[in-house]
Every structure is written in structure tokens, then in C-alpha cells.
Structure 1
Amino acid sequence: MSNRILIIAHAPLAKALRDCAMHVYAECAADVIALDVLPDAQPEDTLALAISAAGSALDEGLLVLTDIFGATPANVAQKLVTGSHAKLIAGVNLPMLFRSVCYRHEPLDALAARALAGGTQGVMQVAITATQNQDR
């Protein structure tokens, strides 16, 4: 059994990230859920949508990825994961999501660590020449 992944972010980021992941990992469609939070959405309504979208994964294993800590999607996500079998990470990016999808079969704590590593390792300044980007 694998963990499910819920992306909850400002619209249209959640769906866009999911679409990118499905472009590469189409076989994972059932395990990756996107919830776009509209500008005028009420937090209570968003929480209800998140609970519905997460379903049984809240008890079985859910990694929640959100965009900005302290913003409405992250605040809703914090309420969602409280008291459940879920982990929450803010600052989602595409490398983090790809890493999460690839390792979704691992235990939830290990998956969260992999997601964080993927997210941080995917952020780098790119030099003009390839040799400047290589470790020596």
C-alpha cells in the first residue's frame, strides 16, 4: 500500500503541479490529489473540501504539500493533518513532488524526509557552463 499525496495551494498551482507530475508518472493518478484554493474561498469550506479529497488516506498515510507557510492553504492543511496519520510540508516545488511520487511506498516519516530532500536539492543557482555546476 502506498501513501497518498495531497497538494493544497493557491489556484492554479495545485492542479498545475499535479498535471506536471502526471505527465511523467501517469500511473500514479489515484495517489496524487490536487486542491486549488481560490482567492475568495472561506477556510472552513476549503477544509471541508480537503477532508473529502483526502478521504481514508488521513488514517492510512497522507503527505500534504502546500505552497506558503502561514497562508490560507497551509493553515487549512495544518487543521487537516492534526490528529491524523499525515505529514505536512510547506514550500512545495516540482522536484519535491516528483520525489514524493517516486517514494510514496515508503513509510510516511521516510517519505516526508525524501520530499524535503527533493525540494531542497532541486533548488540551485545554475551557472552558464556545465563544469561550474559539477562537484570537484
Structure 2
Amino acid sequence: MNDQTEARKSVGVIIVTHTDYGDKLLKAAEMILGPQQDVRCVSVNVGVDTAETVKQLDADIRALDSGGGVIIVTDMFGGTPTNLSLSLMGQRLVEVVTGVNLPMLIKILSTRTKALSQLAADAKTAGVQGIVVAGEILRKKVAGE
């Protein structure tokens, strides 16, 4: 088989967030999509040594990478979950996407056989499209736009 016809390897997913936000987000996604394989959640908590968290992240990346790489989603750019995740980017096939929300996570979990870079780009798009100010839409409908 050539590269175009060969089945793509599934991308592993790690959700890294402050406290247990990632666990709750995954539970919500699984309520919609059903149980998911090759997904881990890492909580960043006060009082837990950051070196231990990085060690856990590295172990999770190694465990989840079956050849397609690993996408790490974090809660916010500049926060500790993101900074710890970024420290592993040059060492393995990893992409980090910040600002995780439910539409982003559903997109990732339902399209994990895409190339890692494309999956990351699609995740960003889905995350942004999932942010809506409902009043703006309703006002446009009322105005007839």
C-alpha cells in the first residue's frame, strides 16, 4: 500500500486542565459520542509537583501514540496546563491546542484518523465556531438579516 491508501493511525488525545475540568468535559463528550479509547485526562492541581505532572504527560504520550501522534488540548493559553504540555512538543509527535471546549473535543474524538496537523486545525475551527453570542443571532433574525 502507498501512503495515500494506507489507513491512518488514530491520534491519541490528552486533556490537560486545571483541576478536574478535563474529566468532566470528557464525560460530556462520551455522553454524546459513547465511550472513547486512547484518551487520558491530566489534572493540574495546586500542591502537585509540576515535574511529576510532566512525567505523567510524557508517559501518557508514549502510551497513546500508536503512530499518528498525540493531540493535547488544554484549557487556556498561558496557564500551567499549557506550559507543561508545551515543554514536550519537540520531543515527540505532539500538537497542543488551547481553549478546549465541548465542540472542539467532539470534533477531535470523531475525526482522529486525520493527520495530526489537520486535526489540530479542525479542532481550532470547531472550538471557535462553538462560541456564539445567542443574542446577536436572535437580533439578526428579528431584524430580518
- What range is the shorter-chain TM-score in? 0.7 to 0.9
| CA RMSD after TM alignment | 2.2
Q: What is the CA-CA distance between 1:2 and the residue it aligns to?
A: 0.7
**Which residue does the alignment assign to 2:11?**
3
Structure whose alpha-carbon radius of gyration is higher: 2
Percent of residue pairs identical:
26
* 1:48 counterpart = 2:55: yes
What does 1:7-46 align with in structure 2 at a 5 Å threshold? 7-28=15-36, 30-46=37-53
- Please point out which of 94, 101, 105 is paired with 1:97: 105
Tell me, in whole angstroms, the C-alpha distance in 1 between the residues paired with 2:74 and 2:47: 18
Could you tell me which amino acid in structure 2 is paired with residue 100 of structure 1?
I
Tell me, in whole angstroms, the C-alpha distance in 2 between the residues paired with 1:114 and 1:63: 12
- Please point out which of 122, 136, 141 is paired with 1:132: 141
**Which residue does the alignment assign to 1:106?**
114
User: Structure 1: where are the runs of 5+ without partners?
Assistant: none
Tell me which protein shows more helix as a share of its residues.
Answer: 1
TM-score where L is the length of structure 1: 0.87
**Which residue does the alignment assign to 1:57?**
64
List per-residue Cα deviations over 1:51-98 (Å, max 9, x = no partner). Answer: 122224357210000012121111110012222111101111111111
TM-score where L is the length of structure 2: 0.82
- Tell me the number of residue pairs that the alignment of Structure 1 and Structure 2 aligns: 134
4+ runs of 1 displaced by more than 6 Å?
Answer: none
